[in-house]
Structure 1
């Protein structure tokens, strides 16, 4: 039976001399705490601390990185339990068999790397296949019954010092309040207002009312702005450090006040046009930057995704089920009005992410290399793989330097993959810095200081943790 044993030198440079340097650097940071300032773990998972139901609900159903690859290989999403709650045991076992029998579809992908590392936590040492799928299911399921594999125990084992969730602005954050000091990790909410800013989105007129709560009124533009500002203050009071924005483009062009009021009235009446809705959303992106200057929330911006590209999959399984597809994106012109106004504002932090790899060297790095407010976000979604991370390291640091990086962002719903993703980043950073030492561009003590900063200090500074 083929073994599944993560190699101690995985992702480190192939050249023996450089690899020795990278080993030393990596060893110095391998056990440092994880700082995760952007992700999608449900805080109720940690609040309830209930045992995970089964291997499928832990490793397959919530992870669209996994399900999209299997779907591309001909596996139906329904058979994997996508969009469903915990499956009955026979169905969960069947989904696990599908994963194991299609393990070859993960070859060469970062998903394979994360999965191997995650399975190693559960003592799995055999490569998944159809022949051993039931045995592996039973091995993992037995571990899940142990108190040491419940969510809070894993949180402690993973050594996560800070974990940000992603939350609707209308959320009362009850789970965060209830968690309080129950866990040593700081669990922080993140303000994610996208659906309230997209006034042309179906259903906007009904759910925007939730934004104001019992005492507010979002019937006019002034009330809408006041409600957003109040909810941001509420999030800050409950420990939030950032506001996250993921629209189709990075446009941030302010409207005249009267024009913004007019479009908002049209949105409330349900008569807003597509062009007006786009203009209003770009105006609100500008307004979100203004609010960040006022309340201190770090602004993260990750445009350039065609959300829910396959309507039938959206209808059957819901959003975030693997069919968000990258599109080309532009930052320099789109953000010029915002940066003209706020780019040098004291304390304003703007972290830019992209799924268009060419943008890092052409736009994001030059912007981060001038504006003190701008930071280059870590490679995200389709770019969070070894090849693109290596290209990012060169593309950004040679233009803007290490101090303009955000630090690693895992951006995951798959709880058990968090340490694997951060470990991947640490290994790749160690390898890149080792190459700079080997080329006599850095001394080894500088490389070690830089790596330690990237792992712990940089994300804390950028996200004001």
Structure 2
């Protein structure tokens, strides 16, 4: 493919220092002062999806498209949503996710993928993706101009030159970003080899795993029975019968704790935690092994297993993260052709009060139990989740995330939850990203949104300035650190 000559563009692109701060001049002045106290605090990233092997290998990132475009489902889904509309995205050749480097038959030319992204830059106006990418391009890579059809090759060459430098390798960027601890998300059967290599290099406690057993808890999956041998092999326990299955999960949790884990992670459709009698649980397990379990019975088994996970968290001290309420792979044809996590996960209305009652009645006051609940259904913040977090000492309300990690949604979160739950019954910010370079951008946006909310409380004489400054440090740093204590036996 012929590469057109680079476009000469003067460096005039910069981040505005007041981005995402309140528009009222008086409140903005207060927000600026609050932000100054949190802007350079370390990042505690306790829920994310960065691959630990990337940091263990510490190899040069391959190209700008592989780093910033292909792995970012926020970005991919927006471009594909415009694929049939007349305009620059369709003209650039975007028809499916494959045109952005995703899945079988994907575009293999990174420069072409990058050009398609740049052609669609206008689609991201006023979205959090735009905010994060501007931060990454300007602050991390010193990009000379915004993405566009005209600047695509200039930017690709500029970023490629930066990525070839040692200070742009993963571990160097980790240090530059000011990350104190980064939690990854790992399958229950993971060997945790990358974490072991990091620990051997002196990174123990800085990059930590998170136990994600979802496929093993969902017997409605067509491949569920085929997953049991891997659980047995990784745990050294026969997982082919119900009691062994539970013991194997306990053993894998212990392995994660030894590797430094502080939390589990559960992303099922519903948050139901209703337990079954042991005899019923054994019967459903055996039905599932034979492939004879119905959808209602499978949902009941999943709810039972969430209760078991809560009980195990009370035993071993791993924080139980729960984020239900998303229909995965809404376009089943796209998932079959291109794979999972390509932007077709869609939120649904979710009920928590009755669903969490069994687990909270059993463990919500247990001194060793901590559950952090996230949602993408913000209508339940004030009605259900904030009152629950304001009552049970074992429950924390997770930060706005996924579809809610935008400036306006973050403000609505504080407005909906603070009256009932206060600030200290929330978990601190989590970035929930696999786009490594966006971690500081996401935390920066959260700190700005919270600075604006706290500034309004100061301006309305609902908080003193010293209280606002202390609370800002809680929200930016201390709550994320304290909401995820290390269990006994975790790697230091």
Cα distance, 1:454 vs. partner?
1.4
Distance in 2 (CA, whole Å) between partners of 1:338 and 1:66 is 37
- Aligned with 1:30 (options 24, 39, 44): 39
- Deviation of the 1:257 alpha carbon: 0.5
TM-score under structure 1 length normalisation: 0.97
Q: Secondary structure at the match of 1:333?
A: helix
Cα displacement (A) at 1:85: 11
Q: CA deviation at 1:34?
A: 0.2
Asked whether 1:63 is paired with 2:82, we answer no
Secondary structure of the 1:330 match is coil
> Is 1:364 aligned with 2:385?
yes
Distance (Å, rounded) in 2 between the aligned partners of 1:4 and 1:95: 23
Cα shift at 1:373: 0.7
RMSD: 1.4
Partner of 2:183: 164
| TM-score normalized with structure 2 length | 0.92
The 5 Å alignment of 1:258-337 reads 258-337=279-358
Equivalence for 1:173:
192
Find the aligned partners of 1:318 and 1:192 in 2 and give their Cα distance.
19
Alignment counterpart, residue 141 of structure 2, candidates 122, 127, 131: 122
User: After superposition, where does 1:14-413 map in structure 2 within 5 Å?
Assistant: 14-74=23-83, 75=94, 76-83=96-103, 88=108, 91-120=109-138, 121-180=140-199, 182=201, 186-213=206-233, 215-413=236-434
Give the aligned partner of residue 8 of structure 1.
Answer: 17
Q: For residues 145 and 24 of structure 2, what CA distance do their matches in structure 1 show?
A: 29
Summarize deviations over 1:46-101 as a string: whole Å, max 9, x none.
Answer: 0111100000000001000100000001022111001369974xx11111111111
Can you list the C-alpha shifts for 1:158-202, whole angstroms capped at 9, x where unaligned?
010000000011111011011015365711100000000001201
Q: Distance in 1 between matches of 2:337 and 2:54?
A: 25
Q: Give the whole-Å Cα distance in 2 for the aligned partners of 1:342 and 1:309.
A: 34
In structure 1, distance between residues paired with 2:276 and 2:404? 34
The answer on whether the counterparts of 1:4 and 1:116 sit within 8 Å (CA) in structure 2 is: no
Aligned to 2:484: 463
1:161 match: secondary structure: strand
Inter-partner Cα distance in structure 2 for 1:412 and 1:80: 18
Q: Distance in 2 between matches of 1:443 and 1:183?
A: 42
Shift of 1:449: 0.5
Q: Secondary structure at the match of 1:421?
A: helix
Q: Contact 1:80–1:95 at 8 Å: present in 2 too?
A: yes
Give the distance between the partners of 2:420 and 2:102, measured in 1 at CA.
42
Q: Structure 1: which 4+ aligned runs deviate by more than 6 Å? A: 84-87
Query: Does the CA-based 8 Å contact 1:245-1:301 persist in structure 2?
Result: yes
Q: 2 CA distance for matches of 1:439 and 1:55?
A: 45
Counterpart CA distance in 1 for 2:249 and 2:188 is: 8
Distance 2:291 2:285 in 1: 10
**Contact 2:98/2:106 (8 A) holds in 1:** no
| Segment drifting more, 313-322 vs 213-222 | 213-222
Q: Post-superposition shift, 1:275? A: 1.2
